[in-house]
Chains A and B, each alone.
Chain A
Amino acid sequence: MGVVSILENLAVEKVEKEYSKTGFCHSFLLKDKSHIREVAKRFKDYDYYLETIIGYDKGDGIRLIYVFNRFDKVHRTLIYLDTAYFEEVDSIADIYSSAIWCESEVYDLLGNTFKGHPCLKRLLTPEGLQGYPLLKSWKEEE
């Protein structure tokens, strides 16, 4: 089953990536944020696991990258999700348990919250830390 047919009828746009140059097999930009749960469900149905969630500050918002992969053969697929700063995103923690910590990490370092997450809290940084360290605007305390 090709990835394109897995993602049929969803608001995705293919981004060209060459595996030998980047290490990613396929990548898609998700245009409709509310589709992320459906994407995750379909990937899980086709035995993909969630490798990690990467987030970074791209200057005018946050870009989340969901990395899906297969166990039997490398099939690393990226789903880009562009959000505003501190925007709430639908949680996929009930679909993939590995997302519980991954989403907590994104919240901890970038500030995005996740709707429906069972225990969103600071995972790595100390409790009571002000701000979100991986934002480019973050300044270290003197």
Chain B
Amino acid sequence: MEEQNNIKQDFYVNMGPQHPSTHGVLRIVLRVEGEKVLSSETVLGYAHRGVEKMAESKTYVQMMPVMDRFDYVSAMLYEWAYVGAMERALGITPPERAEYIRVIMGELNRLASHFLWVGAFLLDLGAFTPFLWVFDARERILDMFEEVTGQRMTTNYFKIGGVHDDLTPEFFKMANDFIKMIYDRMKDVEELIESIIFLERVKDLGFISKEDVLDYGLTGPVARGSGVYVDTRKTEPYSVYDRLNFEVPLGTKGDCYDRYKVRMQEIIQSVKIIEQALGMIPEGPYTEKSPKVVKLPEGEYYYAVESARGLLGVYLLSDGSTKPYRFKLRVPSFANLSIIDKLLPGNKISDVVAILGSIDIVVPEIDR
């Protein structure tokens, strides 16, 4: 018996594929010693639907609604990237009003995504109330989407040359009410969240250095939390972002707290963008005439947007027919998650949840 106790055995904990904090079907195999994580291995593919292959047998237009189903919490940003790639190929420029509508809807979607993240992150850490507070705000955004597009999440709103429907007068009223309420709400939420218990759990945890950001190709709030200035809206301006005035919040240390803080500040910046865009939106048509049968000229096309999680790129290779020869997504969560196996070793199991949560992943976009 004594001899048996002396034998050191590896102990494995399977986190997922069904686990409340993995936000989808992701599995992380943790090799642990007591509470301490020695190493980890991430297993992907539980939500793999083979969309890149599927795209080769669907026309460009048929793929449009599928774009909503990768990152279902910020669906419009995905539509934007896909539509952008096709517009680039066809040489279509959407009218001014459409560009502003896209910015407003895109930023609202970013807000919806960040709200969900704040709520879910705190829920992972054991705080329930913030979830309800931010979901009230998120609900108003979804109501606005419903008002304009008829859908709450998978909106299928963008189209080649513009958007499907114009903004309604009711939408402007809702948006203005939302902006009036959101600054105070965010102050309240921040006060509620940043208790000593929360700070103890997320500060000085899961450091990501600037070198790691480059090495792993991280983008979005994860990279900005480490103080790397990377934001597609600024470095590769698309649509009318170069006319809007906003800042890119940066962290300093690159721990979980910085990533949280960056997202909280981004919420405020997004609201500012929406405020400006609502004031600047011109009258006019909301869509350009688009071809009935979409055939891209031969060649390869790429369009990048800043999704809620980082740089999202859509690559289309066309052979001149109505279907793409190759369709590829450069998804931010894929790169961002790849660093997890480096971050986890040395931490406690309970911290795994905090670190994974701070990266903000959406599994269907990783697995595609």
Residues of A at under 8 Å CB distance from B?
20-24, 44, 47, 49-52, 54, 56, 67, 70-74, 76, 96-98, 100-101, 109, 122-126, 133-134, 138
Contact = CB atoms under 8 A, between A and B. Distances in A.
Contact of B88 (A21, A56, A73, A96): A21
B215 A97 contact: yes
B330 A97 contact: no
Interface of B: 44-45, 48, 50, 52-53, 85, 88-89, 91, 212-217, 223, 228-230, 235-236, 299-304, 311, 313, 315, 317, 325-326, 328, 330, 334-335, 338-339, 342, 367-368
Contacts of A97: 212, 215-216, 338-339, 342
A74 B236 contact: yes
Nearest to B231: A71
Contacts of A23: 85, 88, 301-304
Contacts of B342: 97
30 contacts: A20-B88, A21-B89, A23-B88, A23-B301, A23-B302, A23-B303, A24-B300, A44-B214, A51-B311, A52-B217, A52-B313, A71-B235, A72-B229, A72-B230, A97-B212, A97-B215, A97-B339, A98-B215, A98-B335, A100-B338, A101-B335, A109-B52, A122-B45, A123-B44, A124-B45, A124-B48, A124-B367, A124-B368, A125-B48, A138-B53
A22 B44 CA distance: 31
B330 A67 contact: yes
Nearest to A95: B215
A60 B91 CA distance: 31
A133 to B, nearest CB: 5
B338 A49 contact: no
A39 to B, nearest CB: 16
B230 to A, nearest CB: 4
Contacts of B229: 71-72
Contact of B53 (A67, A72, A73, A133): A133
A77 to B, nearest CB: 12
